Structure 1
Amino acid sequence: MYDFAPDAALEPVERYRQLCEAADALTADEPDAVANMANVAALMWEFIPDLNWAGFYRIAPSKLGSDELVLGPFVGRPACIRIPLGTGVCGAAASHGQTQLVEDVHAFPGHIACDAASRSELVVPVMRQSSVVAVIDLDSPSPARFTQADADGIERLAAIISDRI
C-alpha cells in the first residue's frame, strides 16, 4: 500500500518536489502508460490543493485520421472526451507545445467548459522527442489559482513521466 500524504503547510517548491518523487517512484518500473497516468492523476489530486479536475488528455488519431486530444485517466467530474488540437486551453497547449497558465478560463478564446465550476486552468504539454504526446490538465474552481511555481512543478513532473506514458 502506498500512502503519499503531503503536509498541507508545504511551500509549493517542496510540495512539487515531493509530488515528483512520488510519481517517479510509482512509475519508474511500470511499463503500462494507462496505469502510470492513473497513478499520477491520483497523486496530483492528493498533492495539489483547490482542484476540481486533474488528469490527462492524450494525442490520438481522430475518426477522420488527424490527431486530436482524447481523454485519459483523471480525477474529477466527467469530462469532454475529444478536443481538437488548437481548441480550448488543452488544445492550445498541445498545438503550440507550450504551458498554458490561465487565470480566468472564461476570458480564454475558445475555452471549452467541460465543468462549469472551473474558473482557472493550468495545462502542461508532455513532450517526447520534441513531440507532444499528452497534456496534463489541472482545473480549479478558484480564479487565478495557479502560479508560475505550479507551472514549474508540473513541467518537472511532465519531464519525469514523458517516457512512461
Structure 2
Amino acid sequence: MFTQTSYSGTSTEQYNLLGKQLDALLTGESNQTANLSNASALLNQFLERINWVGFYLMENGELVLGPFQGLPACVRIKVGRGVCGTAVAEKKTMLIDNVHEFPGHIACDAASQSEIVIPLIKDGEVIGVLDIDSPELRRFSKEDQAGLEHFTEVLMKHL
C-alpha cells in the first residue's frame, strides 16, 4: 500500500497515479464498506477545492448514504431526483457546473456550487454513485470526469 500527498504531471498522469494507488490500497480486501471508505478518503486527499466526496448505494430501489468525507449528508435519495438520482436513472455521469441551475437539485450542503456524480455500474446495473461537491462554480472539467470515471472502473474491480 502506498499513498502520496502531492501529485505532479498532467491531469491524466495524476489520475493514472491515483488509480494505481487505489488498486494497491484495495488489493486483497473484499469488504465493500472498507473499500468505499478508503476510496473516499483517497479522493478527499487528492482533490482540491471540494467540500464533500462519498458514495450513495442502491438499497430497495433508492440511494442510501454510504462512506464519505465531509459534513453530514442527506441519507436517502430517490432515483430520478437531484443530481445523484438522475445519474442513476440515466446511467451516466452528471457534470454540473452550477447546481443551482439543475432542476430538483438537493441541497445537502448550502456551500456546494458544482457537482460531479459517476454511477457505479456492475453487470449492467447501477449499484451506487460516487458523488463529489465543490464550493466553486465550474470546479469539475471533462479531464476530471475522465479521471474519475477511470477511478470508479478501478474501484469496481474491488466491489
TM-score by length of structure 1 reads 0.92
Structure 2 residue runs of 5 or longer lacking an equivalent are none
2:42 counterpart residue number: 43
1:64 counterpart residue number: none
Alignment of 1:159 onto 2:159: no
Alpha carbons 1:6, 1:46 under 8 Å: kept: no
In structure 2, C-alpha distance between the alignment counterparts of 1:77 and 1:113, rounded to whole Å: 12
- 1:42 counterpart SS class: helix
After superposition, the C-alpha distances for 1:20-54 in whole angstroms (9 at most, x for unaligned) are 11111111210000000000000000111111001
- Kindly report the root-mean-square deviation, in angstroms, between the aligned alpha carbons of the 2 structures: 1.2
Q: What's the offset of the Cα at 1:163?
A: 3.8
After superposition, the C-alpha distances for 1:98-155 in whole angstroms (9 at most, x for unaligned) are 0000000000000000000000000000110111111000100000000001110111
Alpha carbons 2:2, 2:25 under 8 Å: kept: no
Alpha carbons 1:4, 1:43 under 8 Å: kept: no
In structure 2, C-alpha distance between the alignment counterparts of 1:5 and 1:37, rounded to whole Å: 19
2:102 counterpart residue number: 108
1:126 counterpart residue number: 120
Alignment of 1:6 onto 2:6: yes
| Among 71, 78, 84, the residue aligned to 1:77 | 71
Q: What's the offset of the Cα at 1:3?
A: 3.6
In structure 1, C-alpha distance between the alignment counterparts of 2:109 and 2:115, rounded to whole Å: 11
Q: What's the offset of the Cα at 1:164?
A: 2.2
- 2:13 counterpart SS class: helix
Q: What's the offset of the Cα at 1:2?
A: 4.7
Structure 1 residue runs of 5 or longer lacking an equivalent are 62-66
In structure 2, C-alpha distance between the alignment counterparts of 1:128 and 1:83, rounded to whole Å: 20
Alignment of 1:136 onto 2:153: no
